[in-house]
Amino acid sequence: MASSASRAALSSIPLFHEKLLKSNRILAVCGAGLSAASGLPTFRGAGGLWRNHNAVDLATPEAFDADPGLVWLFYAYRRHMALTAKPNPAHYALAELARKRPGFKCLSQNVDNLHVRANHPSDQLSLLHGSLFTLKCTTCSWKDLYNIADPLCPALAPAAESNPDPTKPLPLLDPAQPLAEIKESELPHCPDCKTELQRPGVVWFGEMLDEDMLDDIEEWIEKEPVDMVLVVGTSSAVYPAAGYAERARTKGRTSVVTVNLEITEEDWGRMRKGDFGFEGDASLLLPELLRPVIGEVKGEEEEEVEG
């Protein structure tokens, strides 16, 4: 466990700024906490229920096979929420860091598309778990890389409804309100093979991440020593993202910097000399932490997405 004296050094913004200004090769590993300030639920921990379903249990191929209508309604709701959310200052800060530091690479576990909408340079961004706005066939190779239809089809319209009475739960989210059965024939089907269902282009539990993307990340890490790793909005509990911070560490050179709403005693205890930990809202902390390199972040108005 870090002593009070060392804890002060680990949380020193001036010391962090000194290190940042000397850092050119920077890796960021981002999790759901990054988008929490944009109003998106993390669906993890005690709050990880959706209509009394464990959200993790819905994010599997087996759940989709058993009840594609229910799983699609869950993802249609997440698509709607992500479309109505806006990137927060942390997204813009990371995008600006990418522009100011060509040696910066961001690995994100988030599927909400907010990095892209903050105009993060695409060649410096890897979406580890895919995107809610990519659609693919359950069987053949067909893909639609960017589909923002909301609702995606009439049967999923309840997921895009506004709440008529803010004092009560949205009917879709109220477990006491029965859901109308959605037949497979009412769900989106592949336009190529015509017979199979479309599914969200996200990586479900039990599925492999994209091998080409993983190879690209490994090549980037191996190319040159990494000066700094930013671990933002995640407890690093999901692999392979969990291992990237240590994978990129070069002894005596790399600072691992944790920015999260809560940093556990175990996390503090794992920190080494030269590491940093900043506890709080990433949307407030990151712009301040990165200011010496990126200047003031202007994220109120959404920037145009790169063409």
The verdict on whether residue 140 carries a ligand-binding annotation is yes
The verdict on whether residue 30 carries a ligand-binding annotation is no
Residue identified by tokens 């004092």 is 167
The verdict on whether residue 137 carries a ligand-binding annotation is yes
Distance CA 256, CA 243 (A): 12
Which residues, listed in sequence order, are joined to residue 27 by a DSSP beta bridge? 105, 229
- Which one of 53, 80, 129, 189 is the catalytic residue? 129
115 is catalytic: no
Residue identified by tokens 């190319």 is 223
Distances (CA, A) of 46 to 43, 54, 232: 8, 10, 20
DSSP assignment string, the chain:
---HHHHHHHT-HHHHHHHHHT--SEEEEE-THHHHTTT-----GGG-EETTEEHHHHSSHHHHHH-HHHHHHHHHHHHHHHHH----HHHHHHHHHHHH-TTEEEEE---SSHHHHTT--GGGEEETTEEEEEEEESSSS-EES----SSSSGGGGGGG---S-TTS--GGG-TTSPPPP--GGGS-B-TTTSSSBEEEEEPPTTPPPPHHHHHHHHHHHHHS--SEEEEES----STTHHHHHHHT--TTTPEEEEEES---HHHHHH--TT-EEEES-HHHHHHHHHHHHH-S---SSPPPPP-
Distance CA 162, CA 175 (A): 17
Binding residues for Zn(2+): 137, 140, 190, 193
Binding residues: 137, 140, 190, 193
Q: Which residues are catalytic?
A: 129
